[in-house]
Amino acid sequence: MTAKKLGLKQRYAHMTRGLDWETSYQPMDKVFPYDTFEGIKIKDWSAWEDPFRLTMDAYWKFQAEKERKLYAVIDAFAQNNGQTGVTDGRYANVLKLFLTGISPEEYQAHRGFAYAGRHLRGVGPRVAAQMQSLDELRHIQTQIHTISHYNKYFDGLAEFPHMHDRVWYLSVPKSFFDDARSAGPFEFMIAIGFAFEYVLTNLLFVPFMSGAAYNGDMSTVTFGFSAQSDESRHMTLGIEVIKFLLEQHPDNLPIVQKWVDKWFWRGHRVLGLVAMMMDYMLPKPVMSWKEAWEIYFTEAGGALFQDLARYGLRPPKYADIATAEAEHISHQNWAIFYQYTHAAAFHTWLPDAKHMDWLSEKYPNTFDKYYRPRFEMWGQMAKEGKRFYNMALPQLCQTCQIPMGYTEPGDPTTICFRKTQFRGETYHFCSDGCKDIFEAEPEKFAQAWLPVHQIFQGNCGGATIPDVLNYYRMNVGADNMDYVGSPDEKLWNEWQADKIRTAV
Amino acid sequence: MSVVALTPDYEKHIEFRDLESNFHGNRVVYLHWEQHLSFCSAIAFPLPPSMPFGAFVEAIVKPHYNAHPDFEKIDWAQVVWMIDDEKRTPEMEKSLDENGVKHKSLVRFWTPGLSGYKGSAS
Ligand SMILES: [Fe+2]
Ligand SMILES: [Fe+2]
Ligand SMILES: [Zn+2]
């Protein structure tokens, strides 16, 4: 007798929920020790609605297919020397920022979802989190493979995992994920699954992928496409998680609200790096950060929180401040990197006249008044042979670890200084958002590994800047400093000269 | 304890990373020149608490801000100082500590009449 083939629905049920069982040798509380301490109450795990109906074998087949297409494009890109066809050599710096600052977070996401996929008691979310965990591992792998081609030609890419763990500004995304990964599984799901993958994801991936498309980088566009169907699954998981928690018990609302507030603000701070990339680093810009914020947060996020209002959830605290900051954050961040170019693993430059006009047009309220004079002054100084550097280390925010360069809400001429006391020690913050986060969990954030303080304590290779750069494995004179005069620029100019020669 | 932790003895394991005792006899002092945001943020230094305030001005403040075109125009007698939240007139021969500069104190100063490149606070 031949076995009857199962229908799709039955198959799905057997291959996901059917794999679960009630333990008998050990109590369930011992098998799942991490899913109660956060205070989240789940009455009925079976009420979880699987956000996507995918079994592991089908998942495997889809992903393999996408992989084949991606690697075909990467091969073609390499064979055709695609790196010579991007808009400008400066574009490579976008990839440096991505590979050092974002790809390692794909790996962190992989680890975090593996943890949630082990420790949530319900089989539905567990299976979904496990699949996302695999996706994230695939993301870092495809990103490394895609960008490795650029590593053959451009500086600043070779030491990305080492740099990620050590370099001062990379502690911003690193500590963001360390914070999420050292939380309980429910907070992780709200932090990364909901706040990051649902609310803020379009502000991360759309800018990088459309930036790549506008600037002729077809290989990066393709890994973006290859991750797109994964990302839409991640979004449906993120929204299902928050709805499930809010539906399960009214006591969950204040806990979830606190996490939404925290992770929105933390995400907003990390995305400041993307803001700077969009407004200053793309040779051919796509849209301004302010426009992206309006579309993807103010409008899309607004609709989302209207929908979630029926559960009693309100929009994240300080969303209004974040929106007001969209006028400033990219300019302030680029100014930070310009003056610390000697300690950055990508190149910097001043926007040229045409680019400044674009910024004036995109930021009519702020650019000409506050930021154009800064860049013009630096341009003047560079012309006189006195290129502007900041030769001291910056004060960092205890929570987000960014140099405290953001200004008072409503006053772009004054730095926003906030501080608090905990057990007789003073802690400093860039904003009320970061201060609130600290005050909710001071025991955790008092332990922050702040790069500047670590240097002073002698834990980063030595007391001088060359010692520290060596500890970072920064190839001084190649990885850091201005684009103009860099080996990257020299190589790019040679390619352009070759093109002209062959055309003649 | 306000952090929600898995282990009830979480507090016993806190590693306070930035205690003054970790800085080999120095304390961390933050410094900021107001209205001159070309310097993107306050800057940080590990300094001996016994350092005279006058030496701090000469050896730390001046060399780190002299790249700015406004620097030469500063009338140091007119400078307004703020240590943490208090405006005060530091006693130059007295130490940082005696002037109230503690571990992780913030020293801000204003230079009257100077408000950055073309008055833009840059
Ligand atoms: Fe991902
Ligand atoms: Fe994702
Ligand atoms: Zn902060």
User: DSSP E strands: which ranges in A317-410?
Assistant: 393-394, 407-408
Domain extent at residue A139: 27-34+53-503
Residues of A in contact with B82 (CB under 8 A): none
Residue B39 domain flag? yes
CA dihedral sign of residues B80, B83, B86, B91: negative
Candidate from A373, A412, A415 with C-beta closest to B32: A415
With beta carbons less than 8 A apart as the criterion, state whether A164 and A174 touch.
yes
Q: Is the pLDDT of residue A437 over 80?
A: yes
* Residue of A331, A411, A443 to mutate, interface with B, max B Cβ within 10 Å: A443
Candidate from A391, A404, A443 with C-beta closest to B41: A404
Task: With H, G, I as helix, E, B as strand and everything else as coil, classify residue A429.
Answer: strand
Residue B4 domain flag? no
pLDDT tens, position by position, A17-34: 888 999 999 999 999 999
Residue A9: pLDDT band by 50, 70, 90 thresholds? confident
Q: What is the pLDDT of residue A228?
A: 86
Determine how many CB atoms are found less than 10 A away from the CB of residue A242: 24
Least confident of A73-77, A201-205, A355-359, A389-393: A201-205
Q: What is the pLDDT of residue A2?
A: 66
Question: CB A443 to CB B1 under 8 A?
Answer: yes
Over residues B54-81, mean pLDDT: 97
Which ligand has the nearest atom to the CA of A201? 2
With beta carbons less than 8 A apart as the criterion, state whether B41 and A405 touch.
yes
CA of A183 vs chain B CAs: smallest distance (Å): 8
CA of B9 vs chain A CAs: smallest distance (Å): 12
Residue B7 domain flag? no
Question: CB B23 to CB A441 under 8 A?
Answer: no
Q: Is the pLDDT of residue A1 over 60?
A: no
Closest to A169 (Cα-Cα) out of A490, A426, A459, A468: A468
pLDDT tens, position by position, B99-117: 999 999 999 999 999 999 9
The ipTM, to two decimals, is 0.98
With beta carbons less than 8 A apart as the criterion, state whether A280 and A224 touch.
no
Q: How far apart are CA A276 and CA B96, in angstroms?
A: 38
pLDDT tens, position by position, A223-251: 888 888 899 999 999 999 999 999 999 99
Residue B101 domain flag? yes
Residue B58 domain flag? yes
Domain extent at residue B63: 17-119
Q: Is the pLDDT of residue A297 over 70?
A: yes
Chain-wide mean pLDDT for chain B? 96
Q: What is the pLDDT of residue A205?
A: 86
Least confident of A4-18, A96-110, A189-203, A235-249: A4-18
pTM of the predicted structure, to 2 decimals: 0.97
- Ligand 2 geometric centre to CA of A409 (Å): 32
Candidate from A38, A370, A454 with C-beta closest to B4: A38
CA of A446 vs chain B CAs: smallest distance (Å): 6
CA of B72 vs chain A CAs: smallest distance (Å): 15
- Domain with residue B94: its CATH number is 3.10.20.560
Question: CB B39 to CB A390 under 8 A?
Answer: yes
With beta carbons less than 8 A apart as the criterion, state whether A237 and A247 touch.
no
Residue A419: pLDDT band by 50, 70, 90 thresholds? very high
Q: What is the pLDDT of residue A101?
A: 97
Q: Is the pLDDT of residue B92 over 90?
A: yes
Burial of A309 (0-12, 13-18, 19+ CB in 10 A): exposed
Q: What is the pLDDT of residue A458?
A: 97
- Ligand 1 geometric centre to CA of A126 (Å): 18
- Domain with residue A413: its CATH number is 1.10.620.20
Q: How far apart are CA A499 and CA A483, in angstroms?
A: 21
The whole-angstrom distance between residue A296's C-alpha and the CA centroid of its chain comes to 15
Give the bridge partners for A408, in sequence order. Answer: A411
Which ligand has the nearest atom to the CA of B41? 3
Minimum Cα–Cα distance from A404: chain B residue = B41
The domain tally of chain B equals 1
Tell me if chain B has a CB within 8 Å of the CB of A350. no
Q: Is the pLDDT of residue A417 over 70?
A: yes
Over residues A359-374, mean pLDDT: 98
Q: Is the pLDDT of residue A8 over 90?
A: no
Which ligand has the nearest atom to the CA of A435? 3
Over residues A115-139, mean pLDDT: 95
The domain tally of chain A equals 1
* Residue of B14, B40, B60, B66 to mutate, interface with A, max A Cβ within 10 Å: B40
Minimum Cα–Cα distance from A388: chain B residue = B67
Residues 203-242 in A contacting B (C-alpha not used; CB under 8 Å): none
Q: Is the pLDDT of residue A125 over 90?
A: yes
Q: How far apart are CA A168 and CA A421, in angstroms?
A: 24
Residue A42 domain flag? no
The residue among A22 and A52 whose pLDDT is bigger is A22
Candidate from A336, A417, A439 with C-beta closest to B40: A336
Residue A13: pLDDT band by 50, 70, 90 thresholds? confident
Q: What is the pLDDT of residue A504?
A: 74
Q: What is the pLDDT of residue A187?
A: 98
Residue A13 domain flag? no
Q: Is the pLDDT of residue A88 over 80?
A: yes
pLDDT tens, position by position, A154-190: 999 999 999 999 999 999 999 999 999 999 999 999 9
Over residues A57-73, mean pLDDT: 92
Burial of A152 (0-12, 13-18, 19+ CB in 10 A): exposed
Which ligand has the nearest atom to the CA of A318? 3
Residues 452-491 in A contacting B (C-alpha not used; CB under 8 Å): 452-454, 456-458
Chain-wide mean pLDDT for chain A? 96
Q: Is the pLDDT of residue A444 over 80?
A: yes
Residues 2-61 in B contacting A (C-alpha not used; CB under 8 Å): 2-6, 10-11, 14-19, 22-24, 26, 28, 30-32, 34-35, 37-46
With beta carbons less than 8 A apart as the criterion, state whether A114 and A133 touch.
yes
Burial of A130 (0-12, 13-18, 19+ CB in 10 A): middle
